[in-house]
Amino acid sequence: MGIRRELGAAVQRTLDRHLRIGVTGLARAGKTAFITSLVNQLHHVGGHLEFFRAARDGRVLGARRLPQTRLQIPAFPYEDALEALYADAPHWPEPTRGVSEMRLAIRFHPRRSPLRYLGDVATLYLDIVDYPGEWLLDLPLLSLSYSEWSQRARQWYDAERRELAAGWLQELEGFDWLAPASDLQLGRLADRYTASLYAARERGLSYIQPGRFVMPGELAGAPVLQFFPALTLNDAALARMADAPANSAFRTLERRFDYYRRHVARAFYRDHFARLDRQIVLVDCLTPLNHGAAAVRDAQLTLTEIMRNFRYGQRDLLRRLFAPRIDRLLFAATKADHITADQQPNLTALLTDLMGEADRLPRFESVPVETLCIASVRASEQVQVSTGGSYHPALRGVLLNGQTATFYPGDVPSRVPDATLWEQHRFDFQRLRPPRIPPRTPLPHLRMDVVLEHLLGDKLR
């Protein structure tokens, strides 16, 4: 009997699995809504998840929350989010900043169990990590010196960005890089620089470096976040800074930059990124369209930069530093319930075009990449309206002002629009309030079952 029980425990251990999934995306991309829906679907697991095979086959027995293992990381506020969404006056959960995580135990029947008589039940321990996509934009910093970073910044500071940064640039005029640094002056300049990054984000721009400056988490106000690129120095002037005295402003900024690189950017990669098994990147493609050409161009740049985080070969910097182990990558265009169903294929195509790698995706260093469009929480209904005898697709939902409306949100371009389209057309995709959801029913969604299959399916066989 004792032997049999020990054997049983050993088999149980081999049946059990672990998976750590990263959920990322820029601020407002939909991370909180996504994680809430994902966990909620797992709690209501059943036949309604048509493409999630283990659930459809009735092999998933249930999911329950476990205490997380990394105690220093804030817990994902799942209950708060549910409360907001299931309220009598439903509202979107409060935005969260920084990293949080959540641990689930999913019990399931494996399809082929080595010892059926043991009860045939295995557990998938699932860790879900929510972290800001902004932090992934710091990847380039890992391999750059302060001078190189400053040189690069000149490339992305176009006319629009310079205008947004006017206050900071003005203050930089006549700044003496060689004079001894005054903490007060550096602090003021850094504040102006940070303000210009927030202004850029307000304008719908997403390529923001260092990413932590607009998503500081627990580092808000710390001196490590008080530097900025030496944008007003040209190459010759930067070269002369090699002889700058140790107490000069330039050297002080350089030291802060190096500290940030080592202790903030690198620590993030080591402590969070390198530990993930799978990753989903959420992208709101509709908001940049609303903002116009510059925002879309910026989204393109940002996505390209974010994707570099996953393209690690044997000799790559990332591989050398941390050996990341991500084996599956999913890019999802969120809020697909803001458009009519006939436009959803365009939204997915637009995401792929923004990633700029359509033809290169399958060759991504052995990491399979999938793109799709989803609604974590579907806030609209697809309806038909008749005009002059013919029917057109439309949406019905509650606008943010509380009005229920039936409307046509407009077409989604399947590619990044060119200059002519921007001249003739303005996009105006409306945000919606979450729907009223009866208690004890799962959150309505679009394609969360496809996501579940892609992220978990093979671990539940």
Ligand X SMILES: Nc1nc2c(ncn2[C@@H]2O[C@H](COP(=O)(O)OP(=O)(O)O)[C@@H](O)[C@H]2O)c(=O)[nH]1
Q: Which residues bind ligand X (CB under 6 A)?
A: 25, 27-33, 92-93, 95, 334-335, 337-338, 375-377, 379, 431-432
Considering only the C-alpha atoms of the chain, give the largest distance between any 2 of them, rounded to a whole number of Å: 84
Contact status: 459 vs Mg ion (CB under 5 A): no
Contact status: 346 vs Mg ion (CB under 5 A): no
Looking at the Cβ atoms of 74 and 140, the one nearer to Mg ion is: 74
Looking at the Cβ atoms of 31 and 378, the one nearer to Mg ion is: 31
List Cβ neighbours of 306 (8 Å cut-off, separation of 6 or more).
Answer: 133, 136, 137, 281
Q: Is the peptide bond before 180 cis (omega within 30 degrees of 0)?
A: no
Whether 357 and 424 have beta carbons less than 8 Å apart is answered as no
Instruction: Number of residues interacting with Mg ion: please give it, by CB under 5 A.
Output: 3
Distance CA 377, CA 379 (A): 6
Whether 227 and 249 have beta carbons less than 8 Å apart is answered as no
Contact status: 100 vs Mg ion (CB under 5 A): no
Partner whose binding site includes residue 409, from ligand X, Mg ion, none (CB under 5 to 8 Å by kind): none
Nearest Cα neighbor of 264 from 100, 25, 30, 99 is 99
Q: What single-letter amino acid sits at 441?
A: T
Minimum gap (Å) between residue 288 Cβ and ligand X: 14
Q: What angle do CA 384, 390, 391 make, to 5 degrees?
A: 10
Minimum gap (Å) between residue 214 Cβ and ligand X: 12
Binding mask 367-386 vs Mg ion (x if CB under 5 A, - otherwise)?
--------------------
The single-letter DSSP state of residue 251 is: H
Q: Give CA torsion, residues 21, 26, 32, 36, to 10 deg.
A: -40
Minimum gap (Å) between residue 34 Cβ and ligand X: 6
Choosing from 17, 20, 31, 201, the residue that interacts with Mg ion (CB under 5 A) is 31
Looking at the Cβ atoms of 172 and 333, the one nearer to ligand X is: 333
Looking at the Cβ atoms of 335 and 459, the one nearer to ligand X is: 335
Minimum gap (Å) between residue 445 Cβ and ligand X: 7
Distance CA 227, CA 256 (A): 6
Q: Give CA torsion, residues 270, 18, 40, 99, to 10 deg.
A: -10
Query: Which pair of tokens denotes residue 288?
Result: 């940049």
Contact status: 32 vs Mg ion (CB under 5 A): yes
Partner whose binding site includes residue 134, from ligand X, Mg ion, none (CB under 5 to 8 Å by kind): none
Minimum gap (Å) between residue 96 Cβ and Mg ion: 4
Looking at the Cβ atoms of 248 and 334, the one nearer to ligand X is: 334
Minimum gap (Å) between residue 98 Cβ and Mg ion: 9
Looking at the Cβ atoms of 399 and 421, the one nearer to ligand X is: 399
Looking at the Cβ atoms of 39 and 45, the one nearer to Mg ion is: 39
Q: Can you say whether the dihedral through the CA atoms of 104, 121, 119, 58 is positive or negative?
A: positive
Nearest Cα neighbor of 459 from 120, 174, 110 is 110
List Cβ neighbours of 242 (8 Å cut-off, separation of 6 or more).
Answer: none
Burial of 313 (0-12, 13-18, 19+ CB in 10 A): exposed
Looking at the Cβ atoms of 27 and 321, the one nearer to Mg ion is: 27
Minimum gap (Å) between residue 93 Cβ and ligand X: 6
Q: Which residue has the tokens 């399979």?
A: 368
Instruction: Map the footprint of Mg ion across residues 79-98, applying CB under 5 A.
Output: 96
Minimum gap (Å) between residue 289 Cβ and Mg ion: 22
Partner whose binding site includes residue 410, from ligand X, Mg ion, none (CB under 5 to 8 Å by kind): none
Looking at the Cβ atoms of 170 and 406, the one nearer to ligand X is: 406
Distance CA 265, CA 215 (A): 13
Closest residue to Mg ion, judged by C-beta, is 32
Which part of the chain contacts Mg ion (CB under 5 A), choosing from 13-21, 23-31, 105-113, 377-385? 23-31
Contacting residues toward Mg ion, per CB under 5 A: 31-32, 96
